[in-house]
């Protein structure tokens, strides 16, 4: 394929902004960054017209999109549809996420993601299993009848994706001592979530290799001045990452601001926790026999319980800038570089530099509207 030259960009390379830059893409990777003088004579030229070109967004928690929920359609075609629903909003890599379900459904979903990666479905880099090894006291919309203790052979199950990343959200206080260490040794990325654990429970988990926290503040024991809880431990620790749903519903903007200021820079990543409504006209769906409706961007059960989100990554970036005053460069890093590093993909994703994957988003910096995306240069 000929070299692609994206010209006249306001470039954000993952570190800083540059005006009127050209990016060359060859064989799915960034080959050069500079000015128009470096463009080969036979290159295909795409004029960015001064819009912002940034590393594509990486979403590590995506339950659904494009009208499809992974739990209902754990197939390659279902995964492809979810990705397409989010790509229009700047997401170029994601982890389809399975909400607490049966052992059979977990096996089916893992196999589908394995096949999707093998078939080069654009943007699929692994799977996130949110449950079933949770604490029912903090179940959210997860079915308490399926939440269960970890089986003896769970480590084998959870490390059965050789061609992608596996993230597992679990309640550390419900796991036997040494479990998180064994999972980590098997390249599973372990996050604490849907947990009623104490500060000390989390410290023990961190000592075993806990990598992060799922949807900070939600479905976890809160910060209290005498018992910091899971939320306090998450914010205070410098080695772990926190996923943040920046929709203004899951976390108050003031709490978001406190977290961003208090947590070590580089350790908060934007996630959507998106449901099928993202990228779909139909704003209603059923989960566990209960209808969920997205109204004005808020997904909830009839009783008001939050049930995932109707959030996309471009909106998450916009909200992070406008709701809490984060500068655009940092908001973009929270949507790309930091999740790449969480996933141990920071050597090839999250920056626009020679040798990195050509996963890019082009957007209007004033309106936060996506103009185009590229995944491996396509």
Residues annotated as catalytic (active site), given as ranges = 273
Burial (CB count <10 Å: 0-12, 13-18, 19+), residue 285: buried
> Residue 42, Cβ neighbours under 10 Å: how many?
7
How are strands ordered across the β-sheet holding 290-295? 284-287, 290-295, 298-300
Distance from first CA to last CA of the chain, Å, rounded? 11
Residues 352 and 337: their CA atoms lie apart, in Å, by 10
Strand partners, 94: 59, 124
Scan for tokens 């006209």, then name that residue: 281
| Beta strand spans in 131-219 (E) | 165-170, 188-192, 212-213
The residues that bridge with 50 in the sheet, in sequence order, are none
Q: What is the DSSP letter of 18?
A: E
Please give the Cα distance from 87 to 280 (Å, whole number).
12
Q: What are phi and psi of 280, to 5 degrees?
A: -130, 150
Q: Which residues pair with 111 in a beta bridge?
A: none
């Amino acid at each position: 394929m000929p070299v692609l030259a994206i010209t006249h960009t306001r470039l954000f390379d993952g570190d800083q902004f540059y005006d009127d830059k050209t990016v060359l893409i060859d064989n799915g990777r960034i080959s050069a960054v500079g000015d128009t003088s470096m463009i080969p004579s036979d290159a295909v030229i795409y004029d960015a017209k001064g819009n912002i070109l940034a590393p594509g967004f990486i979403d590590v928690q995506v339950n659904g999109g494009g009208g499809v929920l992974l739990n209902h359609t754990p197939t390659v075609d279902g995964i492809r549809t979810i990705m397409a629903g989010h790509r229009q909003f700047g997401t170029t890599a994601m982890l389809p996420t399975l909400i607490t379900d049966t052992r059979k459904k977990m096996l089916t979903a893992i196999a589908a993601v394995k096949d999707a990666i093998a078939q080069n479905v654009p943007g699929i880099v692994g799977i996130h299993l949110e449950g079933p090894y949770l604490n029912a006291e903090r179940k959210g919309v997860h079915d308490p009848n399926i939440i269960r203790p970890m089986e003896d052979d769970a480590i084998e199950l959870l490390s059965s994706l050789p061609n992608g990343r596996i993230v597992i959200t679990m309640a550390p206080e419900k796991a036997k001592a040494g479990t998180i260490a064994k999972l980590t040794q098997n390249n599973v990325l372990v996050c604490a979530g849907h947990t009623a654990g104490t500060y000390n429970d989390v410290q023990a988990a961190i000592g075993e290799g806990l990598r992060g926290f799922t949807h900070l503040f939600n479905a976890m024991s809160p910060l209290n001045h005498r018992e910091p809880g899971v939320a306090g431990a998450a914010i205070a620790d410098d080695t772990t990452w926190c996923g943040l749903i920046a929709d203004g519903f899951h976390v108050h903007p003031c709490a978001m601001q406190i977290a961003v200021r208090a947590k070590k820079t580089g350790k908060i990543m934007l996630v959507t926790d998106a449901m099928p409504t993202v990228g779909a006209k139909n704003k209603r769906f059923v989960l566990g026999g209960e209808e969920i409706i997205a109204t004005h961007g808020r997904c909830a059960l009839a009783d008001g319980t939050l049930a995932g989100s109707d959030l996309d990554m471009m909106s998450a970036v916009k909200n992070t800038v406008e709701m809490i005053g984060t500068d655009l460069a940092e908001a973009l890093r929270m949507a790309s570089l930091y999740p790449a590093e969480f996933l141990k993909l920071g050597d090839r994703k999250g920056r626009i530099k020679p040798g990195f994957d050509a996963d890019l988003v082009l957007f209007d910096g004033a309106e936060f509207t996506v103009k185009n995306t590229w995944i491996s240069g396509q």
